[in-house]
Structures are given as structure tokens and as C-alpha cells.
Amino acid sequence: MDWNWYLFRFNGRINRARMWLSVLIILCWMIFLGVLSVASGIVSAGKGASFGFDIDDIFRVIDPVSWRSLSWSYLPTLAIKTIATSLFAWVYFATSIKRLHDRDKSGWWLVPFFVVPGLYNQFAGQLPDSWLDLPLALSAFVLCIWGFVEMYCLKGSPKTNRFGPNPLQRPDTRPRWEQNREIEMVPHKADPPPLLRIRSRA
């Protein structure tokens, strides 16, 4: 398997198993980088502080409230989280778009499946209490569940679609039939046909 294409590029299609594998890879990278950062002393996880990677880190970038509470001592942690979260988000978007392609959907479907629920989750605490909060929460929940079912549970298009061939279809490795190679042209001879002779059993 081409790992560079699988994890970092946006063209083509992948099946459900490879989508689940990408989530497992991202989780392993999160655990490894988290343990490495704390063990190396770059990040301090003591005194009740915690260090980890979360999907909400992507949406905190556009939230001004999350920036007001930052201090200079948090700069190494912020640098590591920014680099690692960018890597994880790239891999997640690349594999998710390829999985949406497998469902014969454009990559723009990530906006309702991922971006809208994530933005609501980030800014829900800042919204005023009103009757509009319930429909917004319900819409975000339905979009999140719909995206999960679409990308992780349903089969892809069985045939070749506009994004490429079915990833579960095995390629035909047989040599292509060429008519010229199969037909043998025998030149015509003017001689009479050979006589048939019967062998005697003497």
C-alpha cells in the first residue's frame, strides 16, 4: 500500500476498513507524542495540569476566549499541540475525503459532518440561553451521527464512480488479449497436398 497517498493525499477512494485504520493510526500517534512530550520534560503535566490532543483543539484556534487565558509558560505546549494537531487534522481530512469519494460524495460533505458540529461544540457555552439552542444542538447531533454512519458504516459504490475504481475490486492482472498475436497467418503453397500413407504392421 502507498502510505504517502493513503495518509496525506486527497484523491481516490478508500474502504471502511482503511478509514477505521486511519483513526487507529491517529490515536497511536496522539498517545506516542503525548507520552514523548511529557517524558522529555518539554511539557509539564504536573500540578493538576493535563496534556493531550483533542478534536476541539482545531476549533479553539478561532475562538478568541481560548487565547485570552494563555501565558508565556504555555508556549512550548502550544507549539507542540499546534504542530501535532495540524498533522492529525491533515491525515483525518485526507482519509475522510477519500472515504466520502468511496460513497460517491464530494469532500465538501465534511462541512456538515465535521465542521458544523465542531463549531457548535466550541461555541455552545457562549450562546445565550434561548429556545434556539435546542434546535441547534439537535441539528449538530444529527449531522454528527449522519457523518459517522456515512463514513464508518456504509459500503462504498460497488462500481467505478467519478472519483475512481472500487477499492475492494481486485485489478485484472491477466495479460491483455491481442488479436494479432493469436492469429497465425500461414502462407499459401502451390504444391499438391501430401499423400496419406498407411503404415503396415509387418
Cα–Cα distance for residue pair 57/78, rounded to 1 Å: 10
% residues pLDDT > 90 (the chain): 35
Tens digit of each residue's pLDDT (9 = 90 or more) over 36-94: 877 776 665 544 445 566 666 666 666 666 666 666 666 677 778 788 888 888 999 99
- Nearest to 165, CA basis, from 10, 2, 5, 15: 15
What is the percentage of the chain residues whose pLDDT exceeds 70? 68
Mean per-residue pLDDT, 2-29: 93
- How far CA 4 is from CA of 7, 10, 51, 94, in Å, comes to 6, 11, 29, 11
What local confidence, expressed as pLDDT, does residue 189 receive? 64
Please state, in angstroms and rounded to a whole number, the distance separating the CA atoms of residues 14 and 100.
9
* CA 151/CA 95 separation, integer angstroms: 10
Mean pLDDT (whole number) for 94-110: 94
pTM: 0.72
The pair phi, psi for residue 6, each rounded to 5°, is -60, -45
Calculate ∠ Cα 5-10-15, nearest 5°.
75
- Compute the distance between CA of residue 99 and CA of residue 95 in angstroms, rounded to an integer: 6
Give the residue ranges of DSSP H helices in the chain: 3-8, 16-40, 56-60, 64-68, 75-102, 110, 116-123, 133-152, 179-182
Q: Exposure of 167 by Cβ count < 10 A (0-12 exposed, 13-18 middle, 19+ buried)?
A: middle
User: CB burial class (10 A; 0-12, 13-18, 19+) of residue 157?
Assistant: middle
Tens-digit pLDDT profile for residues 154-184: 999 988 899 999 888 876 667 776 666 655 5
Listed in sequence order, the residues at least 6 apart from 116 whose beta carbon sits closer than 8 Å to its beta carbon are: 139, 140, 143
